[in-house]
Amino acid sequence: MSRLKSHRIRIDRLVFGGVVFCAVLAICPLIGLIFDLFVNGYKQIHFDFFIQVNPTPEEARLFQSAGLLIPGGILNGITGSFSVVAIAVLIAAPLGILMALFMYDDHSSRFSNFFHCLIVSLMGIPAIIAGMIVYLWMVEPFHSFSALAGGVSLAIVMLPMIIYSTLDALNTLPANMKEEGAALGGTYTNVIFLIILPAAKDKIISGILVAASRAVGITSPLIITALGSSEVRWNVQEPVSTVSMLLWNFFNNPSMVDMVWTTALFLFLTVIVLNIIAKSIYHGQIHT
């Protein structure tokens, strides 16, 4: 018996060591990427980077050849990202919560099962497909690229994530909460909006923030819906740039390599901060 126990202990340690080795092997490239991002990205960080619009390729080439920091920044991308993501959240959050409530309340019907399969399929659709759909819906009929069209395309991408995060949040509630609310004399609407949703609001908000953090880094649907702009624009009916779009534009210009690293670092930190806030809200460390 002791021989069998020692054999199992050796096997357990061997497997544990293999898992740790594979984990370290997998995380090393990520650590190296983050290290390169910080080493190369901090060079271009200055105050003007956050308060000026992006430079032209000619300006970047002249300053780079002189050994100076590239002038300008990504203000038009920051404001554009805020506008587009805000529009997407305003569209996707209410729809996602209502759809999740339907699936939570009527989870056994055939239509609910079909709806569930539809949402799963929607999660697997590439983001560029959402951009093409919105292009046919809004851009081509009105002959205008806009922040609104970009927001709608991101809302399509965010919608299934919000639905499932909200549904998971609702499923963590006690199963008899609705019956208890009805027993106290509350109507169905009062029970849903005054008891069920407030009880799960932290997890719902957390899911919305995670979906927004993903939307911040999406580029492909915005290229054919928001188009881009070298100016700061707050009109949702006009084309705008986002941080991810500027990153793509900088990447296509060899003279803006330094801007690529700094913009990527800013985008990376933005996503990390949003995810940290979402996790803190989920675990109750930040009260909403």
State mean pLDDT over 220-247. 94
pLDDT digits 0-9 by tens, 84-99:
999 999 999 999 999 9
Answer CATH for 76-173+203-282 from 3.40.50.300, 1.10.3720.10, 3.40.640.10, 1.10.10.10: 1.10.3720.10
What global pTM score does this model have? 0.90
* pLDDT recorded at residue 4: 65
Helix (H, G, I), strand (E, B) or coil at 144: coil
Cα–Cα distance for residue pair 81/278, rounded to 1 Å: 19
pLDDT score recorded for residue 169: 92
Considering 37-51, 112-126, 173-187, the range whose residues carry the highest mean pLDDT is: 37-51
CB-count burial class (<10 Å; 0-12, 13-18, 19+) for 108: exposed
pLDDT digits (tens, 9 = 90+) for 149-164: 999 999 999 999 999 9
Query: SS3 breakdown of the chain: % helix, strand, coil, rounded to 5?
Result: 75, 0, 25
Say how many C-beta atoms besides its own lie within 10 A of residue 49's C-beta. Answer: 21
pLDDT in the model for residue 65: 82
Query: 107 pLDDT exceeds 70?
Result: no
Surface-to-core class of residue 179, CB atoms within 10 Å of its CB (0-12 exposed, 13-18 middle, 19+ buried): exposed
What percent of the chain lies above the pLDDT cut of 70? 97
Does residue 1 register a pLDDT over 60?
no
Q: Where are the domains of the chain?
A: 1-35, 76-173+203-282
DSSP label at residue 235? -
